[in-house]
Structure 1
Amino acid sequence: MSIRKELLDSLSEHRQTALLGGGQGRRDKQHARGQLSARERLECLFDAETFQEWGMHVEHACHDFGMEKTKLPCDGVITGVGHVDGLPVASFSQDFTVGGGALGQRHAKKICDVMDYALECGMPFVAINDSGGARIQEAVESLSGYGQVFYRNVMLSGSIPQIAIIAGNCAGGAAYSPALMDFLIMTRENANMFICGPQVIKAVTGVDATMEEIGGAVANASISGNVHFIADNDEHAIQLAKDLLSYLPPNNMQDPPHRPTTDISLDPDEVLNELVPEDAKAPLDMQAIIDRLVDGSQFLEVHRDFATNLIVGFGRIDGMVVGIIANQPNVKAGSLDIDASDKGARFIRFCNAFNVPLLTLVDIPGFLPGVGQERGGIIRHGAKMLFAYASATVPKITVIVRKAYGGSYLAMCSRDLRADIVFAWPTAEIAVMGAEGAVNVLYRKELEATEDKPALRQQLIDEYQEKFASPYMAAAHGMITDVIEPSQTRSVVSLALRNTVTKRAIRPPKKHGLIPL
Structure 2
Amino acid sequence: MRDEGQQRLVDELHRRRGAVRDRFDSAAVRERLAELGAQSVRSRIDEICDDGSFVETGTFVVSGRPDDEATTPGDGKIGGHGSVGGRPITIIGDDVTVKRGSTATMGTRRKKRLFAQALQRGNPFVVLGESAGARIPDILGAEGLTEMDLDRAAATRQRRIPMVSVITGQSYGGSSFAAAHSDIVVQVKGACTSITSPRLIEVATGESVTAEELGGLDVHLSKTGQVDFGASDFSEAADIVRNVLGYLPSNADRVPERLDFDVKSLTDGTLADLVPSRMRRAYDMRRVLRRLSDDGQILEIQPDFGKPLITAFARIGGYSVGILASQPMVQAGALDPDSCDKAVRFICLCESFNLPLIFLQDLPGFMVGKSVEHNRLLAKAIMMQQAFSLTTVPKLTVVMRKAYGFGYFALGGVFEAVDGLYAWPSAAFGFMDQKAGAQVVRGRDLGGLSATERQSVLAESGEEFDTEFDAYIPAKRMRIDEVIDPAETRLTLVRDLERLVPRYAEQTHDKPLMSWPTRW
Give the structure-2-normalised TM-score.
Answer: 0.91
Deviation at 1:30, TM superposition (A): 2.8
Deviation at 1:354, TM superposition (A): 0.8
The amino acid across from 1:427 in the alignment is S
Segment of structure 1 superposing worse, 43-52 or 381-390: 43-52
The amino acid across from 2:329 in the alignment is N
The amino acid across from 2:458 in the alignment is R
Q: For each residue in 1:318-374, what CA deviation from the matched residue of structure 2 results, as whole angstroms up to 9, or x when unmatched? A: 211110111111011111111111011100111001110000111111211221211
In 1: Cα distance, 2:514 partner to 2:114 partner: 27
In 2: Cα distance, 1:397 partner to 1:511 partner: 19
Count of residue correspondences: 510
1:16 aligns with 2:15: no
Tell me the equivalent position of 1:498. 498
Quote the RMSD (CA, aligned, Å).
2.6
- Secondary structure of the residue aligned to 1:400 is strand
In 2: Cα distance, 1:511 partner to 1:161 partner: 14
Query: Does the aligned pair in 2 maintain the 1:435–1:465 contact within 8 Å?
Result: yes
Go from structure 1 to structure 2 and tell me whether the alpha carbon gap of 1:513 and 1:202 turns closer, same or farther (over 3 Å shift). closer
Structure 1 stretches of 5 or more lacking a match? none
Tell me the equivalent position of 1:49. 52
The amino acid across from 2:18 in the alignment is Q
The amino acid across from 1:154 in the alignment is A
Q: For each residue in 1:282-319, what CA deviation from the matched residue of structure 2 results, as whole angstroms up to 9, or x when unmatched? A: 11210110010111111111111212211111010121
Tell me the equivalent position of 1:76. 76
Query: Does the aligned pair in 1 maintain the 2:391–2:513 contact within 8 Å?
Result: no
Query: Does the aligned pair in 1 maintain the 2:129–2:176 contact within 8 Å?
Result: no
Deviation at 1:54, TM superposition (A): 0.7
In 2: Cα distance, 1:450 partner to 1:287 partner: 43
The amino acid across from 1:288 in the alignment is R
Structure 2 counterparts to residues 40-189 of structure 1, below 5 A = 40-63=43-66, 66-67=67-68, 70-139=70-139, 140=142, 143-144=145-146, 146-148=148-150, 150-189=151-190
In 2: Cα distance, 1:368 partner to 1:509 partner: 30
Give the fraction of aligned pairs with identical amino acids, expressed as a percent. Answer: 31
Deviation at 1:213, TM superposition (A): 1.3
Deviation at 1:510, TM superposition (A): 8.2
Query: Does the aligned pair in 2 maintain the 1:264–1:491 contact within 8 Å?
Result: no
Segment of structure 1 superposing worse, 198-207 or 331-340: 198-207
Deviation at 1:267, TM superposition (A): 5.1
Query: Does the aligned pair in 1 maintain the 2:133–2:196 contact within 8 Å?
Result: no
Deviation at 1:513, TM superposition (A): 8.8
The amino acid across from 2:8 in the alignment is E
Go from structure 1 to structure 2 and tell me whether the alpha carbon gap of 1:510 and 1:482 turns closer, same or farther (over 3 Å shift). closer
Tell me the equivalent position of 1:426. 425
- Secondary structure of the residue aligned to 2:71 is coil
- Secondary structure of the residue aligned to 1:336 is coil
Query: Does the aligned pair in 2 maintain the 1:130–1:168 contact within 8 Å?
Result: yes
Deviation at 1:81, TM superposition (A): 0.9
Tell me the equivalent position of 1:277. 276
Go from structure 1 to structure 2 and tell me whether the alpha carbon gap of 1:514 and 1:465 turns closer, same or farther (over 3 Å shift). farther
- Secondary structure of the residue aligned to 1:136 is coil
Structure 2 counterparts to residues 412-423 of structure 1, below 5 A = 412-416=411-415, 418-423=417-422
- Secondary structure of the residue aligned to 1:147 is coil
Structure 2 counterparts to residues 302-381 of structure 1, below 5 A = 302-381=301-380
- Secondary structure of the residue aligned to 1:226 is coil
Structure 2 counterparts to residues 459-498 of structure 1, below 5 A = 459-467=460-468, 469-498=469-498
Deviation at 1:199, TM superposition (A): 4.1
- Secondary structure of the residue aligned to 1:402 is strand
Query: Does the aligned pair in 1 maintain the 2:387–2:513 contact within 8 Å?
Result: no
Deviation at 1:19, TM superposition (A): 1.3
The amino acid across from 2:216 in the alignment is G
The amino acid across from 1:333 in the alignment is A
Deviation at 1:511, TM superposition (A): 10
Structure 2 stretches of 5 or more lacking a match? none
Deviation at 1:172, TM superposition (A): 3.2
The amino acid across from 1:167 in the alignment is T
Query: Does the aligned pair in 1 maintain the 2:348–2:516 contact within 8 Å?
Result: no
The amino acid across from 1:249 in the alignment is P
In 1: Cα distance, 2:176 partner to 2:28 partner: 28
Tell me the equivalent position of 2:299. 300
In 1: Cα distance, 2:419 partner to 2:327 partner: 23
Structure 2 counterparts to residues 431-470 of structure 1, below 5 A = 431-447=430-446, 452-467=453-468, 469-470=469-470
Go from structure 1 to structure 2 and tell me whether the alpha carbon gap of 1:3 and 1:365 turns closer, same or farther (over 3 Å shift). farther
Go from structure 1 to structure 2 and tell me whether the alpha carbon gap of 1:461 and 1:503 turns closer, same or farther (over 3 Å shift). farther
